[in-house]
Amino acid sequence: MPDDTTAKPVSDTAQLVRIVGEPKPEIATKEMPALDVHCRHFISLCPFLCISTADAAGNQDVSPRGDPPGFVHVLDDRTILSRTAKGTAASTRCAISLKIPMSAFC
C-alpha cells in the first residue's frame, strides 16, 4: 500500500483540485464586504490580532499584536482601529496600508 503521508509538491491549481477537490460554495464565497454584528462582537472580545500588509511591489508581511480585549475598536463596518506605539514597525505598516490598500486584519 502506498504511503500517502509522503510530501509531494503541488505545482498548479489543477493538481491541487485533483488532490483535495473543489471548495464548497460557502467556502469559496466566504469573503465579506463589510463586518456584520457577529464580527463586531467577536473583535470586541479578542486579545489578539494579526495585521497583514503588502507594499507596492507585492512584498507581504504579517505582524501579531496582542493586548487585553478591547484594544481593537470597530469604527464602522469597514474600519477597525488598533493602537500601536509611535515609531514601531506596525506604525510603518499602517502608513504603507494607507498608500496601498492591500491590508487585512485576522
Alpha-helical runs (H) found in the chain: 13-20, 25-28, 37-45, 89-99
Instruction: Spell out the domain ranges in the chain.
Output: 34-105
The three grid cell numbers given for residue 76, joined into one nine-digit string: 464602522
Look at the block and give the residue holding cell 484594544: 71
Please count the other Cβ atoms lying within 10 Å of the Cβ belonging to residue 47. 12
The residues that bridge with 54 in the sheet, in sequence order, are 60
Assessment of whether the complete model's pTM goes beyond 0.85: no
C-alpha 24 chain-centroid distance: 20
Which residue ranges in the chain fall short of pLDDT 70? 1-5, 84-106
The per-residue pLDDT for 30 is 76
